[in-house]
Structure 1
Amino acid sequence: MALPLIQYAPKSQNQRVASYEVAGDDQPRVFSTDNLLSSSDMGNLIEAAYRQIFFHAFKADREPYLESQLRNGQITVRDFIRGLVLSNTFKKSFYDLNNNYRFVEQCVQRVLGRDVYSEREKIAWSIVVATKGIRGFIDQLLDSQEYLDNFGYSIVPFQRRRNLPGRSEGELPFNIKSPRYEEYTRRKLGFPQIIWQTEVRRYIPQEKKAKAGDPANFLAMAQSLNATGNQPQQLSLDVDFVRDVPYRQLAGIR
């Protein structure tokens, strides 16, 4: 028997506060199948879905079968998001390398477009992961009234209310605020690595840099050559100059 979801009180976050906003470049772009005008728009929508779930998808991470179904209208955007979150790539990158609490946080950010309200919400959803598995947890997220009210069946999830009016800086993107690997996994994998530089880098103005043909460009090459010169001739100081110095003899004179 599955345990019921623990009740948690939503706190007043930015996405829960209604406001009048003027559309601009700093507002998140909404990708929906309701206003597609060309095939390229569908491609942009698919790329937006990959960025939201994976942040970046390599060629091996893509799901061509799901893409084909979405392009042909066989599945909705909501089903496409479900397929990406339940894919082997997402499982290996997020579920296998994190505990249940962090996995819940990652999924809530990417699927619902917001941060978790509190530690109580993490515990509530982690119990769902433990009792119903990953598929049951993702199905419950996508079937929630919060997801349907904000994204429905045709809108790609996005980070809601990231940019706030009247503030110079908004909230950080989820991929920066919550990286894929937790601290324990990062230490286990051996990064980040601290690299100590033994050479001090110096700035050289453009007018002082060596130009083409400058002998300074060949200094390192000349120093790398292992050129050896001729050894100096060894002379003996025991020399009889009177006898050894040649001289011309005149005929008839001895």
Structure 2
Amino acid sequence: MALPLLRYAPTTQNSRVKAFRVGSDEDPKAISMDKSMDREDQNFVIEAAYRQIFFHAFKVDRDSTLESQVRNGQITIRDFIRSLCLSDTFNRSFYNLNSNYKAVRHLVEKLLGRPVHGKSEEITWSAVLMTRGVKGMVDDILSSDEYLNNFGYDTVPYHRNRVVGSREIGETPFNITSPRYDAYYRGILGFPQIVYSGTAKAYPERARQRRGGFPEDYLSWVRNLPAMRVSGGNAGNTGMDYMAKVPYRSVGR
């Protein structure tokens, strides 16, 4: 039996406040299929949908059948986004590698274009994810009034209202605040890894010749200094009884 969607109190979020500002390069860009006039524009919209869900889609992650249906108008962008969220690529490369809370944050950010409204919303959607799986959560989000009012059927979801009036820069993009792999799996995979694929710089033979000034050249001279010479019977302070020289005060004195 599926649990009903729990009620939660939304926190004050930047995405819920109507923006009064002059346009800038950081303003969200609405990419819609209904404005695509030729095949190049359609490819741009499809690429934006892949980037929104997968961040980057390799050739093996693409679905030519779905892309053809989008271009021919057989399915909407909303249906295309749903298919990407339910694909084997999403389950194998993200959902199976993270906790339910991480999956909830990711889906809310990617589909609704905003951060979650606190821990209460995470728990609410986690209950849906636990009882009805990814399909149930994705269907509920895509059928919600918030999604339909902001993106409709033909607009690719985007990060809403990134510019904040009280700060010089906008909100941090979701792909930075919510990386693909959780900390547990990053540790297993050994991230971060620094891989140097270039060639090591080789010093020429003339640079290896000693031309004076090396400390090793003066080592024999330092050893013959008077301060460094020790007599045979007094070879350092290794035999000194340090404990006998520590002042001792007995109780009662």
Matches of 1:102 and 1:61, distance apart in 2: 22
Residue 70 of structure 1 is matched in structure 2 by 70
Instruction: Give the structure 1 partner of residue 145 of structure 2.
Output: 145
Structure 1 residue 193: Cα displacement: 4.3
For 1:78-157, list aligned pairs within 5 A.
Answer: 78-157=78-157
1:3 corresponding residue in structure 2: 3
TM-score w.r.t. the length of structure 1 is 0.75
The structure that has the greater radius of gyration is 1
1:1-254 to structure 2, matched below 5 A, reads 1-193=1-193, 218-219=204-205
Give 1:11 shift.
1.0
Q: Which amino acid aligns with 1:185?
A: Y
Deviations 1:81-110 (A, max 9, x none): 001111111111211001111111111010
**Against the structure 1 CA distance between its residues 220 and 181, is the aligned structure 2 distance closer, same or farther, given a 3 Å change threshold?**
farther
Q: Deviations over 1:196-225 (max 9, x none)?
A: xxxxx9xxxxxxxxxxxxxx97538999xx
Is the alpha carbon distance of 1:115 and 1:37 closer, same or farther for their aligned partners in structure 2, counting shifts above 3 Å?
Answer: same
Cα gap change, 1:62/1:220 in structure 2, threshold over 3 Å: closer, same or farther? farther
The answer to whether the 8 Å contact 2:15/2:160 transfers is yes
What amino acid does structure 2 have at the position aligned with 1:77? Answer: I
Give the CA deviation at 1:33: 1.6
Give the deviation of 1:147 after TM superposition.
0.4
Q: Is the partner of 2:156 in helix, strand or coil?
A: coil
SS at match of 1:96: helix
Counterparts of 1:176 and 1:137 in 2: how far apart (Å)? 23
Q: CA RMSD in A?
A: 2.3
Return the offset for 1:20.
2.3
Could you tell me how far apart the structure 2 residues matched to 1:23 and 1:137 are? Answer: 34
CA, structure 1 residues 38+121, in 2 after alignment: closer, same or farther (shift >3 Å)?
A: same
Residue type of the alignment partner of 1:173: P
Q: Report the CA distance shift for 1:126/1:40 in structure 2 as closer, same or farther (over 3 A).
A: same
Contact 2:26 2:162 in 1 (8 A): no
Structure-2 residue corresponding to 1:205: none
Counterpart residue identity of residue 140, structure 2: Q
Question: 2:105 corresponds to which letter in structure 1?
Answer: E
- What is the aligned residue count? 204
CA drift of 1:62 comes to: 1.0
Shifted more, 164-173 versus 137-146: the winner is: 164-173
The CA deviation string for residues 40-79 of structure 1, in whole angstroms up to 9 with x for no partner, is 1111111111111111111111111111100010000100
**Identity across matched positions, percent:** 54
What's the offset of the Cα at 1:149? 0.7
Cα drift, residue 164 of structure 1 = 2.0
Q: Work out whether residues 95 and 103 of structure 2, in 8 Å CA contact, stay in contact via their aligned partners in 1.
A: yes
What code does the residue aligned with 2:8 have? Y
Distance change (3 Å), C-alpha of 1:129 and 1:220:
farther
Equivalent-residue separation in structure 2 for 1:120 and 1:220 (angstroms): 69
- Letter paired with 2:182: E
Aligned-residue offset at 1:167: 2.2
